Amino acid sequence: MTFRKIKLGIIGLSEGNGHPYSWSAIFNGYDHFLMEECGFPVIPRYLEKQRFPMDFIQGAVVSHIWTQSNNLSEKIAKTCYIKNIVSNFQDLIGEVDGILLARDDANNHYNFCKPFLENGLPIYIDKPFALSITEAEKILNLSKYDSQIFTCSALKYAKEFSPENILIDQLGKILYVEGKIAKDWNKYAIHIIEPILNLFPNRGELLSYEKKSNQFTRTLNLKFSNIKTIKITTMGPININPKIIIRGERNNLELEFKDSFNAFKNALNQFLGSIIDKKSRICKNNLLEITKIIELGKS
């Protein structure tokens, strides 16, 4: 018996975000020579460490693409073996089983996802989902069923930050947690906020916060009822791997993210799972809490 692969349509590209290349490649494979010209040097470096098709996702295919430029769409399509290019993103309706909104310009998410949500298509909305509670609820209110929207920082599913791989109980009472990540707050704070909240589901209620910033960095100190300090810092132009530092009464721990392919593949598999079994992979209360924290840290 042969099984039909799930057909996905991908929407891109926002400035500085190479996910239309990387996500498509994780499903379809890619042309090694053309990927070197994608403009995101890190992508071919982590893809070349994998074996195709064994390490890639085989249950789905990116069959259609739309970007704001036909030339760009053609470039991505040739690089990642995408067979169909559409001239209007709404033309994906009726052609695919799900949508990958691979843009991290949150201010445009509502307009892009609205027609798909209204037509019942499941959609993976790239991080950050929204930059305000108002905008997040506006998008959530469009959904027709619980599993229709999937969104996350892929770092939530990174093996380096997985609760199953970290013996947090051995640290004793958690006194202090710090997360650091490069680049700007609005687009990248989510990548360290969500993994931290995922590691500490019993953090309790957010009691207070303090915001600090200078020319490059932005820090938000959060006080929860069960954890005295969770400190989130975006480092601007300082190029560091995402890190989480945990201090407990008995021991300390430092976690560092390194494997992008693993995290992206795991997140994309979660989305596929939600299409297949119709079970939601997100908790709306957690999503709104993450959005609230992002909003608190904005300038």
Please write down the HEC assignment for all residues of 26-66: HHHCCCHHHHCCCCCCHHHHHHCCCCCCCCCCCCEEEEEEE
* 146 and 232 housed in the same domain: no
**CATH code at position 52:** 3.40.50.720
Decide if 268 is inside a domain. Answer: yes
At 9 the pLDDT is 98
Rounded Cα distance between 273 and 267, Å, is 10
Range of the structural domain that residue 182 is part of: 159-257
At 3 the pLDDT is 64
Indicate the number of domains in the chain. Answer: 2
* 175 and 231 housed in the same domain: yes
Structure tokens at 139: 């998008």
* 184 and 269 housed in the same domain: no
* 24 and 94 housed in the same domain: yes
Decide if 247 is inside a domain. Answer: yes
Write the DSSP string, the chain. Answer: ---PPEEEEEE---TT--HHHHHHHHHH---HHHHTTSS-THHHHHHTTS-TTTTS--SEEEEEEE-S-HHHHHHHHHHHT--EE-SSGGGGTTT-SEEEE----GGGHHHHHHHHHHTT--EEEPSPS-SSHHHHHHHHTT-SSTTSEEE--GGGG-GGG-GGG--GGGG-SEEEEEEEESB-HHHHTHHHHHHHHHH-TT---EEEEEEEE-SS-EEEEEEESS-SEEEEEE-BT-----EEEEEESS-EEEEE---HHHHHHHHHHHHHHHHHH------HHHHHHHHHHHHHH--
Decide if 120 is inside a domain. Answer: yes
Q: What pTM was estimated for this model as a whole? A: 0.96
- Cβ distance 38 to 44 under 8 Å? yes
At 128 the pLDDT is 97
**CATH code at position 163:** 3.30.360.10
* 38 and 86 housed in the same domain: yes
Decide if 54 is inside a domain. Answer: yes
* 18 and 164 housed in the same domain: no
* 31 and 131 housed in the same domain: yes
* 249 and 269 housed in the same domain: no
* 46 and 119 housed in the same domain: yes
* 174 and 63 housed in the same domain: no
At 167 the pLDDT is 85
* 189 and 223 housed in the same domain: yes
Decide if 136 is inside a domain. Answer: yes
At 2 the pLDDT is 47
Instruction: Kindly give the confidence (pLDDT) of every residue in the chain, 299 residues in length, as a single tens digit, with 9 standing for 90 and above.
Output: 446 899 999 999 999 999 999 999 999 999 999 999 999 999 999 999 999 999 999 999 999 999 999 999 999 999 999 999 999 999 999 999 999 999 999 999 999 999 999 999 999 999 999 999 999 999 999 999 999 999 999 999 999 999 988 888 899 999 999 999 999 999 999 999 999 999 999 999 999 999 999 989 999 999 999 999 999 999 999 999 999 999 999 999 999 999 999 999 999 999 999 999 999 999 999 999 999 999 999 97
* 14 and 107 housed in the same domain: yes
At 290 the pLDDT is 98
At 218 the pLDDT is 97
